[in-house]
Amino acid sequence: MDRGERPARLAVGVIGAGRVGSALGVALTRAGHRVVAASGVSDASRERAVERLGVVPSRPEDVAARSDLLLLTVPDDALPDLVAGLVGTGADLRGKLVAHTSGAYGLAVLNPAIKAGALPLALHPVMTFTGRDDDLRRLTGISYGVTAPDPLRPVAEALVIEMEGEPVWVEDENRALYHAALAAAANHMVTLVAESSELLRKVGVDQPGRMLGPLLGAALENVLRLGITGLTGPVVRGDAATVRKHVDALILAAPEAADAYVALARLTADRALAAGLLKPEAAERLLDALGGNVWT
């Protein structure tokens, strides 16, 4: 759909006006829709409903009653119970768009609502949300993992485009793998960088961010542009002795990080070998260095 095309203006309700829900509510408001109601469990969510969305928090069933488009923006594990609870309260969902923002769930989690007459959408924004105003700026141009019944696909994609996002179709059965890929890249990267920063502090680096920033920026640029062929470092060079020194050092300084290093080094070696970047004999030496009872 062309970015100039706009569906009818919708009355939007947000159940779970937390970091994600409040940000998407603002994005939909900017697109010309109206947030008419919101609910939140935590004090922070209730405050965001007032400050960002301009509505007084109300009960989820009341939010549903007032909405044409109902956004369910609660944590993944809370989503099934929320959907079942809404239907159980007798909330009128007939003919209403009900969209969740979970990456891992597809349409099946909305089955109780579908049976009650709702029109289901899965719209997952591919972005981290901190609750700060930066979230609103970062929404521009991001991808959304979109899943919907075929007749509703144009509606789902139009909503994403209106929020200045890029709709990317994800088949229903692929949602869990799609989300695993994103979580592995983004969430685990945060853990790895935080761990590396702590190790650098242990050896006397006062500002590890200044050291890591250019390195990680270049590594990210390389992999996004070149894929696995952008790999550098001791594994792709086949430096088994260096890799073993890393493992030994980690066992002494941060044994909790050693398992992760070994697992990622093995995966890196496998990928490099498959890409022809690492010779079989070098890969064997690396795996020997990483294998055995490395914790003793």
pLDDT in tens, 188-245: 999 999 999 999 999 999 999 999 999 999 999 999 999 999 999 999 999 999 999 9
Instruction: Give 24's contacts (C-beta < 8 A, 6+ positions apart).
Output: 14, 71, 73, 101, 125, 139, 163
Q: How far is CA 132 from the centre of its chain?
A: 17
Summarize the confidence of residues 256-260 as an average pLDDT. Answer: 93
Of 24, 33, 203, 47, the C-alpha closest to 100 is 24
Amino acid at position 91, single letter: A
pLDDT at 153 over 90: yes
Instruction: Give the pLDDT score at 292.
Output: 44
Distance of CA 249 to the CA centre of its chain: 33
Q: How confident is the model at residue 296 (pLDDT cuts 50, 70, 90)?
A: very low
39 burial type by CB count under 10 A (0-12 exposed, 13-18 middle, 19+ buried): buried
Phi-psi region of 33 (alpha: psi -120 to 50; beta: other; left: phi over 0): beta
* CATH superfamily of this structure's domain 11-170: NAD(P)-binding Rossmann-like Domain (3.40.50.720)
Average pLDDT value over all residues in the chain = 93
Report the percent of the chain where pLDDT is more than 90. 90
What is the structure's pLDDT at 6?
52
Q: What is the mean pLDDT of residues 261-285?
A: 95
Which residue in 105, 57, 56 sits closest to 82, CA to CA?
A: 105
Residue tagged 């603002």 (tokens)? 26
Q: What confidence score (pLDDT) does residue 244 get? A: 95
Percent of the chain with pLDDT over 70: 96
Gap between the Cα atoms of 283 and 272, Å rounded: 9
pLDDT above 70 (res 86): yes
Residue extents of the structural domains in the chain: 11-170, 178-290
Cα dihedral 33, 34, 37, 38 in deg (nearest 10)? 50
Q: Does domain 178-290 have CATH number 1.10.3470?
A: no
Does the pLDDT value for residue 85 go beyond 60?
Answer: yes
> CA gyration radius for the chain?
23
The whole-number pLDDT of residue 110 equals 98
Q: What is the mean pLDDT of residues 67-89?
A: 96
Q: What's residue 8's pLDDT?
A: 66
Q: Which range, of 45-54, 196-205, 260-269, averages the lowest pLDDT?
A: 45-54
At residue 132 the predicted structure's pLDDT band, cuts being 50, 70 and 90, is confident
pLDDT at 106 over 70: yes
Give how far the C-alpha of residue 34 lies from the chain's centroid of Cα atoms, to the nearest Å: 26
Question: Are residues 63 and 38 in contact, defined by beta-carbon separation less than 8 angstroms?
Answer: yes
Contacts by 279-288 with C-beta closer than 8 Å and gap 24+?
Answer: 279/238, 282/238, 282/240, 283/238, 285/238, 285/240, 286/235, 286/238, 286/240, 286/243, 288/240
Over the stretch 18-32, which tens digit does the pLDDT of each residue have? 999 999 999 999 999
pLDDT score recorded for residue 163: 96
Token pair 């203006």: residue: 9
